[in-house]
Amino acid sequence: MFICSPMMKNPLLSVVRSCKSVQRLLQSPASSPLSALLTKRRIIISRSTSSHVCKDDKIHYITTPIFYVNASPHLGHLYSAVIADCLHRYKLLRGFNSKFATGTDEHGLKIQQAAEAAGKDPLTFCTDVSQSFKHLFSTCNISYTDFIRTTEQRHREAVEHFWSVLWNKGLIYKGSYEGWYSTQDESFLTPSQVGDALDSSGKEIKVSLESGHKVEWMKEENYMFRLSAFQSQLLNWLRGNPAAIQPERFYQTVLQWLQEDLPDLSVSRQRSRLQWGIPVPGYPEQTIYVWLDALVNYLTVAGYPEKHSRWWNAAHHIVGKDILKFHAIYWPSFLLGAELPLPQTIYVHSHWTVGGKKMSKSLGNVVDPLERSQTFTTDGMRYFLLRQGVPDTDCDYTEDKVFKLLNSELADSLGGLLNRCTALALNPAQVYPAFCCQSFSRDEGGRAVAEDYHMLDAVKNLPAVVEEHYESMHVYKALEAISACVRQTNGFVQRHKPWKLDQKDSKDLRWLDTIIHVTLECLRVYAMLLQPVVPEISNKLLTRLGVQPAERSWANMNFLPRYQEKDCPFEGRKLGSDSGVLFNRLESRNVDKQKPKKTKKATKSR
């Protein structure tokens, strides 16, 4: 018998849980210096958050970070985008109205310098690189609904408005900043975050301990944001919302940061030093800090300042671990200051390294995702990134890993299973054949064995398992679970060897059809679940199985209804006519080198 999975998420339960955490936020004490000023504001914020979570749970807004245009896109950038795309596609399959925003971060000193080095005016330079991100994303089926460039007029207006709100509330004041600054990271650092290093010419320099990028001492008159006033509110928010930053490891990191001193933040630069940015409203001799400018992009896309509520109340951010501080400390503080709801979730991912080092242009170890997609196919690339990428820890990229993974899981295991049950020898009529209840019965006359029933249970429970992992952005765990089931189904076919059955014997024929029916049902579920990860392969597979586009949503999963003596809409249906290979095996000299024994034997026997 199928067992309903205890992991199945109850949407009502999660709504109630979220409402509870909102209530906890409302009850929690405030102890910041500005708490009197902010108490009223906190309640307004909490109410607007609560009204969203409790009422409209079918709206979803997912964002990627916006990408710097100082260099061409690399594999790490594609990774952020693929994670967000996967979640967006999954939400659509669940019947959500989902918005998916990405774009390019085009202001700041390093862009200004990169444009100068390229001999182009900044806007032309930005347009060219922004275009290369768009090209990569369309090639890799990144199905964003919105693409934002921070040089757009709509964004400038949103940033100006946002600044004025903070200013009018007395949260920005004229001050001076003296300390370390990294232009590469566009980040301010405390002395403890800075270390000594040598540059390429052997000169002693100061670097950021976290990123390794060069830092410089900066002393400037500029505008400061009262970040220090938000420390206790941030702590309250996080303590009341333990799922706000995921995975847990990064949630703990942020809590740890919040135990330390939180100085006010410089939010502008002198125009004489930075021209490529949005001027401070009313004070054009200062340029708005590039991170404040960039973070507001999430609101701009949502329709800020007039029509943002619908989307903004359902915002989820995907970010790499290097930009956690900006998203989990600065951004929520700005939002609290502007009396806007906080993001629902910040999903953090780790980095792709090459030879153990973070990819960087200066190290020359950058992997070009466009070029690699031509070798591995775009779905191959997406599958690899999501199957091997673990949010909690860095992953090292090697070509060998890609070849091995794709050949074994997509070509051999999944593709092989499809070949087996659509081969003309076993399925000459090219149909979704009939399921015979007696053949699969546990009573006398049944031919299934205990492992077969275990497999059915595993596949029946699989959607709930996958749902749990997609929801928490542990896509690799979802793919691991699917891959384990594909192996079980291959084991099922192997165990019963349908090619040995006598097709002239009516009992054997019914059993043969049943084996194929069960296998096709398994494949249908795998293809449905894989849609957010490998849209092209899933489409090919579902089309081959004769599953129509309208039959591909999560609600259509309904695995093997015939086993429960219910109708199966696919039984008797003609298979799709494209009998091409699902995923071609990839040939690599390295992989071939690892099979010397086989080659030797073959040579000997000739």
The binding site for ligand MSP (CB under 6 A) comprises 65-68, 76-77, 79-80, 105, 294-295, 297, 319-320, 322-323, 351-352, 358-359
Helix (H, G, I), strand (E, B) or coil at 60: strand
Residue 261 C-beta: closest distance to ligand MSP, Å: 24
534 in Cβ contact with 379 (< 8 Å): yes
Q: Measured from the CB atom, is 366 or 509 closer to ligand MSP?
A: 366
Cβ-closest position to ligand MSP: 320
Closer CB to ligand MSP, residue 64 or residue 222? 64
Residue placing its CB nearer to ligand MSP in the complex, 316 or 460: 316
CB 312, min distance to ligand MSP, A? 15
What is the distance of C-alpha 382 from the center of its chain? 11
Q: Is residue 394 helix, strand or coil?
A: coil
In whole angstroms, the minimum distance from the beta carbon of 189 to ligand MSP comes to: 16
Nearer to ligand MSP, 326 or 526 (CB): 326
Within 8 A by CB and 6+ apart from 253, the residues are 324
Least separation in angstroms between CB 597 and ligand MSP:
37
Give the shortest CB-589-to-ligand MSP separation in angstroms.
26
Report the residue number, 68 or 223, with the smaller CB distance to ligand MSP: 68
Give the residue with the Cβ less far from ligand MSP, 5 or 113: 113
**Token pair in block for residue 83:** 């994670």
- Using the minimum distance from each CB to ligand MSP, give the nearer residue, 80 or 531: 80
Nearest one of 21, 42, 19 to 31, comparing CA atoms? 42
> Distances in Å between the alpha carbon of 420 and those of 156, 413, 513, 536?
57, 11, 13, 21
236 vs 24: CA distance, rounded Å: 9
Classify 129 in phi/psi space as left (phi over 0), alpha (psi -120 to 50) or beta: alpha
Q: How far is the CB of 433 from ligand MSP (least distance, A)?
A: 46
For residue 76, give both structure tokens: 């790490």
Measured CA to CA, the distance from residue 435 to residue 559 in angstroms comes to 13
Long-range own/partner contacts, residues 312-315 (CB < 8 A, 24 or more apart): 312/61, 312/340, 312/341, 313/48, 313/49, 313/51, 313/52, 313/53, 313/56, 313/59, 313/341, 314/52, 314/56, 314/59, 314/60, 314/61, 314/344, 315/61, 315/63, 315/341, 315/343, 315/344
For the CB of residue 410, give the shortest distance to ligand MSP in the complex, in Å: 22
Write down the least CB distance from residue 532 to ligand MSP, Å: 19
d(CA 259, CA 248): 17
Identity of the residue, 18 or 63, whose beta carbon is nearer to ligand MSP in the bound complex: 63
- Specify whether the CB–CB gap between 357 and 120 falls below 8 A: no
